Amino acid sequence: MQVNLAAVLTAGTLVAIAGPALAQNDTYCLQSGKWGYPGNCQFSTYRQCMEAASGTSSTCGRNPMRKHPQDRYDHRR
């Protein structure tokens, strides 16, 4: 019984850790001094991010940790 309890607790901990990490890799980031760099990047649309920023001193920007289609231009040409 203790082995099963340990397995359940370990699995729960891994899910708790992985959840926020996955949420931080979306397209838009809520940015302010409170969030650090690159910010709270859990927003898939600019509108979602702006709604979360409403009434705060935060702003929204593209997640610099993600590749965006328009960023694929080769600047070495």
Instruction: Report pTM.
Output: 0.58
Give me the residue spans of the domains in the chain: 23-66
Residue 18 identity: A
Pairing of strands 40-43, 28-31: antiparallel
- In order along its 77 residues, the chain shows pLDDT tens digits of 455 544 444 444 433 444 444 457 899 999 999 888 899 999 999 999 999 999 999 999 999 988 766 655 555 65
Instruction: Find all residues with CB under 8 Å of 25, minimum gap 6, and list them.
Output: 41, 63, 65, 66
